[in-house]
Structure 1
Amino acid sequence: MLCSVSTNAVASESSARDIDTAPVKVQMVDDDVLSTQTGKYAGATMISGFVLNVISQWQLPNGVTALAQGTLGAVQNAAGQVHSTVSTLASVSGGNSGNAANAGANPNAQATGGQNISVNGVSQITQVAGDRNTGTNSALIDFNNNAVTLTGAATAPSAVASNSTGSIKAGISFGSNGVSVALQTPAGLATQTITPGNGQIAQLLQIAGNNQQVANALQLHLQTQQMSAAMIRQLGVLQALQNSRR
């Protein structure tokens, strides 16, 4: 099972504008139709753990790369105890990070307002003002017991980095209120926010410059435990009883 949401924007504009995505289409289905449907789903008892990877990266035209990434993993042992791990990494590297003049920023361009939008569920917002920019928001949820975690990170709940002048910043934090990722550059802002209490996952790109390459990515890998022979037999009997009533 796999669920993926992704938005991609390639913009060449001289003024600020929002990149509209295609609307989500919903088809209403009556209860009498749903009652005849069969299929499989993952019950709460099947989930034995998860691996959450988040990464934000910004490449500026002067060769500087700002990066913030992290991994949160949780696994349940045979006794029902949960063991969790967290690792983070933030860096600003390459090029001439102290030379803001070659950062591709456009002081006359503005990309604002997206940070004030609140959506239940997953929201992906891309605002671009400038030329030859590329921005991508992607979110993936799947079942994978062999999920690959991000490498190079330290075992810590947060990490921050910046250039010598403070004009480029990268940060990530795992806390009791959720996950927060933010990149700040002279040409804009990239953020990812996960708030479990409100059930919200928000990805935001605001690019006010030229020749910028920006990406937000989130991967949630759910891990499942093997069903026992007794559970398989019970499900088989239940399905047989349900089919006999039709």
Structure 2
Amino acid sequence: MNAFDRLGNQLEGRGRTILYGLAAVVALTALAGLWSWWSGQRADEARRALGHAIEIAEARVEPSPASGTTVPGAITFPTERERAQKAFEEFQNVAAKYPDPYREKARYFAAVNLLPLDRNRGLSELEALAKNAGTETVSWAKFALAQAREADGQYDQASALYSELAKQSDEFVPHDTVNLRLAAIYERQGKKNEAADIIFQIVESARKAKDQNGKPLPESPTVREAAQKLQSLDPARSAQLPPEPPASNLPF
């Protein structure tokens, strides 16, 4: 008879139940600790794998790099197609090996890199993600789809997706970025006034925004791009904009 059973006999009946119950709790706690450790290790591994795949997707394309111009150990590719192919394979590996959220993020990046390799297949994968994925990935997939439709001249489909993203309460894709693309489509469709209205609103809202101390916020690159676009598209509307934030409020 082991010590655990002897102590159980001393406590009798209910005492034995309590002891075994406590033993179960201890065992479950130990298992939970092991699971937490394993999950943490697995998550770190998944993040590293996803980061490596992103590094490949963003690698420089150097058809024939001059001697001494490439950083030692840096990843480079002779063509964009070869880079896309390698990135697609790496993201596919991540999606096959790890669970969500890493899986669906990898699927998104794989689909984007598949576009120059097999456009129809890449679009199909983005459409699937836009319908069934986490909120963030859904937004990314819709924006990528909108850009692809815009590039293909399918302006009605693209504008519908951009409009949908612009109405979302979240900003996984910044609203200013989305609206600027929507304005570009309207301009191509000959809807100059609609395009000018959207761009005017982007810049006006940004220039009227204040920080917690009541000071004007610095303009983002997107807002500056919008202001320049409005100046060329409709100088009269541009002249109605609030003035730019003073230079003293701009970050150094």
Pick the structure with more strand per residue. 1
- Using the size of structure 2 for normalisation, the TM-score is 0.21
Per chain length, whose mean CA-contact separation is higher, i.e. which structure has more relative contact order (CA < 8 Å, sep 6+)?
Answer: 1
- Structure number, greater radius of gyration: 2
- Using the size of structure 1 for normalisation, the TM-score is 0.21
Pick the structure with more helix per residue. 2
